[in-house]
Amino acid sequence: MPLSALEKMKSGDWYSCLDPELEALRTAARAAAFEHSTTPPDVRGNIGEKLRALFAACAGDARIEAPFHCAYGVNITLGKAVFLNAGCVVLDSAPVTIGDYAMLGPNVQIYCADHHKDPELRQQNLERAMPVTIGKNVWIGGAAIILPGITIGDNAIVGAGSVVTKDVPAGVTVVGNPARVMG
Protein backbone atom coordinates (compact mmCIF):
# COMPACT_ATOMS: atom_id res chain seq x y z
CA MET A 1 0.00 0.00 0.00
CA PRO A 2 1.44 3.41 -0.97
CA LEU A 3 2.38 5.87 1.77
CA SER A 4 0.16 8.87 2.42
CA ALA A 5 1.52 12.37 1.92
CA LEU A 6 1.74 12.76 5.71
CA GLU A 7 3.73 9.52 6.03
CA LYS A 8 6.06 10.63 3.23
CA MET A 9 6.48 14.04 4.88
CA LYS A 10 7.36 12.42 8.23
CA SER A 11 9.89 10.09 6.59
CA GLY A 12 11.64 12.82 4.58
CA ASP A 13 10.48 11.45 1.21
CA TRP A 14 9.19 13.65 -1.60
CA TYR A 15 5.46 14.35 -1.22
CA SER A 16 2.80 16.68 -2.59
CA CYS A 17 2.01 19.45 -0.12
CA LEU A 18 -1.43 19.85 -1.75
CA ASP A 19 -3.04 16.97 0.12
CA PRO A 20 -6.37 17.08 2.01
CA GLU A 21 -4.93 15.51 5.19
CA LEU A 22 -2.06 18.00 5.24
CA GLU A 23 -4.44 20.90 4.52
CA ALA A 24 -6.57 19.88 7.53
CA LEU A 25 -3.46 19.97 9.74
CA ARG A 26 -2.47 23.39 8.35
CA THR A 27 -6.01 24.69 8.97
CA ALA A 28 -5.81 23.61 12.63
CA ALA A 29 -2.43 25.32 12.95
CA ARG A 30 -3.74 28.55 11.42
CA ALA A 31 -6.67 28.53 13.84
CA ALA A 32 -4.37 27.99 16.84
CA ALA A 33 -1.96 30.71 15.69
CA PHE A 34 -4.89 33.08 15.09
CA GLU A 35 -6.19 32.48 18.62
CA HIS A 36 -2.70 33.09 20.03
CA SER A 37 -2.20 36.25 17.99
CA THR A 38 -5.61 37.80 18.72
CA THR A 39 -6.04 36.99 22.41
CA PRO A 40 -5.04 39.86 24.72
CA PRO A 41 -1.62 39.10 26.24
CA ASP A 42 -2.88 39.27 29.84
CA VAL A 43 -5.48 36.61 28.99
CA ARG A 44 -3.30 34.52 26.67
CA GLY A 45 -0.24 34.20 28.87
CA ASN A 46 3.04 33.02 27.33
CA ILE A 47 1.43 30.90 24.59
CA GLY A 48 -2.21 30.53 23.58
CA GLU A 49 -3.95 27.41 24.85
CA LYS A 50 -4.69 25.89 21.41
CA LEU A 51 -1.19 26.62 20.14
CA ARG A 52 0.49 25.07 23.20
CA ALA A 53 -1.72 21.96 22.83
CA LEU A 54 -0.73 21.66 19.16
CA PHE A 55 3.05 21.55 19.76
CA ALA A 56 4.95 18.27 20.02
CA ALA A 57 6.39 19.51 23.34
CA CYS A 58 6.59 22.88 25.04
CA ALA A 59 8.13 23.89 28.35
CA GLY A 60 5.75 25.74 30.65
CA ASP A 61 7.86 28.90 30.64
CA ALA A 62 8.41 29.11 26.86
CA ARG A 63 7.03 32.36 25.42
CA ILE A 64 5.91 33.43 21.95
CA GLU A 65 5.04 37.05 21.21
CA ALA A 66 2.24 37.73 18.74
CA PRO A 67 1.87 37.56 15.86
CA PHE A 68 3.15 34.05 15.21
CA HIS A 69 2.69 31.63 12.32
CA CYS A 70 3.46 27.94 11.93
CA ALA A 71 2.63 25.49 9.16
CA TYR A 72 1.58 22.51 11.30
CA GLY A 73 2.66 23.15 14.89
CA VAL A 74 2.73 19.43 15.65
CA ASN A 75 6.44 19.24 14.78
CA ILE A 76 7.58 22.06 17.10
CA THR A 77 9.41 21.41 20.38
CA LEU A 78 10.27 24.36 22.62
CA GLY A 79 12.68 23.94 25.53
CA LYS A 80 12.81 25.71 28.88
CA ALA A 81 12.63 29.53 28.78
CA VAL A 82 12.61 29.68 24.96
CA PHE A 83 11.58 33.10 23.65
CA LEU A 84 10.25 33.85 20.15
CA ASN A 85 9.74 37.55 19.48
CA ALA A 86 6.92 39.03 17.38
CA GLY A 87 6.50 37.96 13.79
CA CYS A 88 8.32 34.63 13.91
CA VAL A 89 7.37 32.06 11.25
CA VAL A 90 8.07 28.34 11.67
CA LEU A 91 7.24 26.23 8.60
CA ASP A 92 7.47 22.94 10.45
CA SER A 93 6.87 20.22 7.89
CA ALA A 94 9.68 18.38 9.75
CA PRO A 95 10.67 18.49 13.43
CA VAL A 96 11.84 21.89 14.67
CA THR A 97 13.56 21.64 18.02
CA ILE A 98 14.52 24.81 19.87
CA GLY A 99 16.71 24.21 22.92
CA ASP A 100 16.51 25.64 26.42
CA TYR A 101 17.06 29.39 26.79
CA ALA A 102 17.19 30.02 23.02
CA MET A 103 16.04 33.49 21.96
CA LEU A 104 14.72 34.34 18.51
CA GLY A 105 14.42 37.99 17.52
CA PRO A 106 11.47 39.51 15.68
CA ASN A 107 10.58 38.13 12.26
CA VAL A 108 12.92 35.12 12.41
CA GLN A 109 11.87 32.52 9.85
CA ILE A 110 12.54 28.77 10.05
CA TYR A 111 11.89 26.72 6.92
CA CYS A 112 11.76 22.90 6.76
CA ALA A 113 10.32 22.46 3.25
CA ASP A 114 12.82 21.84 0.48
CA HIS A 115 11.07 22.23 -2.88
CA HIS A 116 12.13 20.10 -5.81
CA LYS A 117 14.86 21.55 -8.02
CA ASP A 118 13.41 19.99 -11.20
CA PRO A 119 10.86 22.53 -12.51
CA GLU A 120 8.49 19.85 -13.83
CA LEU A 121 8.44 18.06 -10.46
CA ARG A 122 8.13 21.41 -8.66
CA GLN A 123 4.97 22.05 -10.74
CA GLN A 124 3.60 18.89 -9.11
CA ASN A 125 4.06 20.62 -5.73
CA LEU A 126 6.71 18.14 -4.64
CA GLU A 127 8.73 18.96 -1.57
CA ARG A 128 10.53 17.12 1.20
CA ALA A 129 10.71 17.96 4.88
CA MET A 130 14.10 18.48 6.53
CA PRO A 131 14.41 19.03 10.30
CA VAL A 132 15.86 22.13 11.94
CA THR A 133 17.59 21.92 15.32
CA ILE A 134 18.52 24.96 17.37
CA GLY A 135 20.68 24.25 20.40
CA LYS A 136 20.61 25.57 23.95
CA ASN A 137 21.40 29.23 24.70
CA VAL A 138 21.30 30.19 21.01
CA TRP A 139 20.54 33.78 20.08
CA ILE A 140 19.10 34.39 16.60
CA GLY A 141 18.88 38.04 15.61
CA GLY A 142 15.84 39.64 14.02
CA ALA A 143 14.82 38.73 10.47
CA ALA A 144 17.31 35.86 10.22
CA ILE A 145 16.28 32.96 7.97
CA ILE A 146 17.12 29.35 8.85
CA LEU A 147 16.95 27.01 5.84
CA PRO A 148 15.84 23.34 5.78
CA GLY A 149 18.04 20.72 7.43
CA ILE A 150 20.11 23.18 9.49
CA THR A 151 21.54 22.51 12.95
CA ILE A 152 22.70 25.42 15.08
CA GLY A 153 24.98 24.37 17.95
CA ASP A 154 24.66 25.34 21.60
CA ASN A 155 25.66 28.90 22.56
CA ALA A 156 25.87 30.07 18.92
CA ILE A 157 24.76 33.50 17.73
CA VAL A 158 23.16 34.22 14.36
CA GLY A 159 23.35 37.90 13.41
CA ALA A 160 20.24 39.85 12.46
CA GLY A 161 19.26 39.47 8.82
CA SER A 162 21.53 36.46 8.26
CA VAL A 163 20.53 33.60 5.97
CA VAL A 164 21.76 30.33 7.46
CA THR A 165 22.49 27.88 4.63
CA LYS A 166 24.93 25.58 6.48
CA ASP A 167 25.13 24.10 9.98
CA VAL A 168 26.47 26.47 12.64
CA PRO A 169 29.01 25.01 15.10
CA ALA A 170 28.52 25.46 18.84
CA GLY A 171 29.78 28.69 20.34
CA VAL A 172 30.39 30.67 17.15
CA THR A 173 28.81 33.81 15.72
CA VAL A 174 27.66 33.82 12.10
CA VAL A 175 26.53 36.82 10.06
CA GLY A 176 25.58 37.67 6.49
CA ASN A 177 23.98 36.14 3.44
CA PRO A 178 24.99 33.40 3.31
CA ALA A 179 25.86 33.34 7.00
CA ARG A 180 29.59 32.91 7.69
CA VAL A 181 31.57 32.59 10.89
CA MET A 182 32.87 35.97 12.05
CA GLY A 183 36.65 35.99 12.06
Q: Calculate the CA 181 to chain-centre distance.
A: 22
Cβ(66)–Cβ(84) under 8 Å? no
Q: Does the annotation count 115 as an active-site position?
A: yes
The residue length of the chain stands at: 183
Peptide bond into 106 cis (omega under 30): no
Using CA atoms, how far apart are residues 28 and 73, in angstroms rounded to an integer? 9
Cβ(96)–Cβ(131) under 8 Å? yes
Cα radius of gyration (the chain):
16
27 pairs with which residues across the strands? Answer: none
Catalytic pick from 36, 69, 115, 116? 115
State the catalytic residues: 115
